[in-house]
Structure 1
Amino acid sequence: MSGVSRELELFHLIADPPSAVVRRYVVDYALEDRVRFRNVAFEEAEAAWRKWGGHTTPALWDGEHLHQGAEAVLARLQAVVNLGRDG
């Protein structure tokens, strides 16, 4: 991978409580410029989520892996916060 920063994609559902926890984390840690919110209620977002093997929300695509479930997504986002980068 190059040193170019990737945008993370957060696949979520508005009414899903674990998705809400992750969205709140993104806002609390000012990651909005790094994380693209993709609501899987919309066909285009759902298709991308399924393409990466999505079956659980929330899910975070980091360009290489789809991290599924709030615990896995929060762990990945915490690494972004702690390292100050997405790698």
Structure 2
Amino acid sequence: AAIDHVKQKSKNPQYIKRYQVMKKRPQTESEARKDMMIYLKNTAGYKMDFFKGKSYDEICPIFQARFDANMRFLFKSREEMEEEDQEVLKSINETPA
């Protein structure tokens, strides 16, 4: 709908076509590296200075490990979470205050 509106208003439809081609292009390695750095900064607490001088191939294993850990946590079943809660409560009750 928005693109149709722009097509009606635009005097040069070549710009719209160029924009649509840019939208469809695959992600470059540098864009993927930047996205991984931002993800790690926001979720794992890494500083951006940590990644300076590191290549895509060096950042990718760190990202993959943290991403997989987050996915495992998100897809845990309710029973697994309740078991962990019981273990934590048990350890708290056993610890003398």
State the TM-score, normalized to the length of structure 1.
0.32
- In our comparison, the structure showing a higher alpha carbon Rg is 2
- Give the structure, 1 or 2, with the largest relative contact order (CA under 8 Å, sep 6 or more): 1
